[in-house]
């Protein structure tokens, strides 16, 4: 990934992104070429892994050759040049896109053991149900039904070798322009991207 120095991700922001990723893109090479699957995965910072599961009929788990790439996306949004104070000063401004992304590289390991799969599915469900007024648990479903569902999936574990991350959040703009970007993003309903901009500009807008 091309990462200019000013767009290097803060260490704590990267940890936050990997702590609770939404759906990610698992990209790998196969004898037939590149393939990708969108799926939720959980990050274990101690074990340095990302874990998820694929449908057993999705052959990516057995056809992958070499390292895989997991693309973990944070918030992103269009940035209008009309938001910049610089537009009124000299007009030398252009549109851009602010975004947060991490590229996670590693070895893909498949898991078919029922106990591993049951523990993984319970953990994944628990992570996404946490905080709900009436959280659903795997044990809410009939045991035989769950067993059948587990037979239809294969666990995938990415053993992380390296992480590249980019926080392109208007770090190359003067303070007045950053204020305009945050205000413009909030007006557009892009609160998450506005928060990411503020994270890398802690002195802006209080």
Higher pLDDT pick, 155 / 204: 155
Whether 203 shows a pLDDT value over 70: the answer reads no
Render pLDDT for 20-58 as a digit per residue (tens, 0 to 9): 778 999 999 999 999 999 999 999 999 999 999 999 999
Render pLDDT for 103-160 as a digit per residue (tens, 0 to 9): 999 999 999 999 999 999 999 999 999 989 999 999 999 999 999 999 999 999 999 9
Whether 205 shows a pLDDT value over 60: the answer reads no
Q: Which residue matches tokens 């990934």?
A: 1
- Residue 205, in any domain of the structure: no
- Residue 143, in any domain of the structure: yes
- Residue 176, in any domain of the structure: yes
- Residue 206, in any domain of the structure: no
CATH code: domain of residue 47: 2.30.110.10
Whole-angstrom distance, CA of residue 21 vs CA of residue 42? 7
Nearest to 138 by CA among 113, 120, 116, 114: 120
- Residue 138, in any domain of the structure: yes
- Residue 21, in any domain of the structure: yes
Token pair in block for residue 46: 């101690």
Token pair in block for residue 60: 């990516």
Render pLDDT for 89-101 as a digit per residue (tens, 0 to 9): 898 999 999 999 9
Domain that holds residue 92: 5-200
The three-state secondary structure class of 79 is strand
- Residue 114, in any domain of the structure: yes
- Residue 57, in any domain of the structure: yes
Asked whether 71 and 40 are in contact (CB, 8 A), the reply is no
Whether 206 shows a pLDDT value over 90: the answer reads no
Query: How many domains does the structure of the chain reveal?
Result: 1
What global pTM score does this model have? Answer: 0.91
Render pLDDT for 175-188 as a digit per residue (tens, 0 to 9): 999 999 999 999 99
């Amino acid at each position: 990934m091309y990462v200019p120095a000013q767009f290097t991700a803060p260490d704590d922001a990267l940890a936050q992104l990997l702590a609770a990723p939404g759906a990610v893109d698992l990209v790998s090479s196969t004898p037939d070429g590149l393939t990708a699957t969108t799926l939720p995965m959980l990050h274990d910072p101690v074990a340095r892994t990302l874990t998820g599961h694929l449908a057993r009929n999705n052959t990516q788990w057995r056809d992958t050759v070499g390292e895989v790439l997991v693309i973990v996306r944070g918030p992103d949004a269009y940035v209008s040049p009309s938001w910049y104070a610089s537009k009124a000063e000299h007009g030398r401004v252009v549109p851009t896109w602010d975004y947060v992304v991490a590229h996670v590289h590693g070895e893909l390991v498949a898991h078919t053991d029922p106990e591993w799969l049951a523990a993984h599915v319970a953990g994944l469900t628990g992570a996404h149900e946490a905080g709900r007024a009436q959280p659903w648990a795997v044990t809410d479903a009939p045991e035989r039904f769950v067993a059948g569902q587990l037979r239809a999936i294969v666990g995938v574990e990415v053993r992380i070798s390296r992480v590249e991350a980019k926080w392109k959040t208007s770090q190359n703009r003067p303070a007045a322009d950053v204020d305009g970007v945050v205000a413009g993003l909030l007006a557009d309903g892009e609160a998450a991207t506005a928060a990411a901009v503020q994270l890398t500009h802690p002195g802006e807008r209080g």
